[in-house]
Amino acid sequence: MVDNVPISRAIALGVERVVVLHVGNFERPRPSPHRPLDVLLQAFSIARNERFARESENVYEGIEVVVLPGVDPGPIKRNDFSKTATLIKRAHAAAAGFLDAHPAAASL
């Protein structure tokens, strides 16, 4: 459950390139939890982010790991899908800009 970006698992299966579109939490401060569910969700989020940080810091010889830029959705509730189209457009623009700036990764 906390390995939402299983880089090492993909490599164990024999891939030569891993492309990650990170959609996790960003650097903005987390709100203070007010309910037990809020505590659970924050704990889960912290565990996922830690796992991703450890996985992405590893150097895998002969394996290309490309981490595309994420788009911070801002303070949108987890069940609010009203901004989906806008977020998809922002993510597409961010990924396209990244790939334009990194020609080696653009051969995806």
Predicted local confidence at residue 106, as pLDDT = 61
Residues 79-105: what's their mean pLDDT? 89
Asked whether the predicted pLDDT for residue 103 surpasses 80, the reply is no
Measured CA to CA, the distance from residue 87 to residue 93 in angstroms comes to: 10
Residues 71-87: what's their mean pLDDT? 88
- Token code pair at residue 97: 């800009």
Whether 94 and 71 have beta carbons less than 8 Å apart is answered as yes
Whether 18 and 10 have beta carbons less than 8 Å apart is answered as yes
Residue 52 CB-density burial (10 A; 0-12 exposed, 13-18 middle, 19+ buried):
buried
Summarised one tens digit per residue, pLDDT across range 31-78 is 888 999 989 988 888 888 888 888 888 888 888 888 888 888 888 887
Task: Tell me, yes or no, if the pTM score tops 0.75.
Answer: no
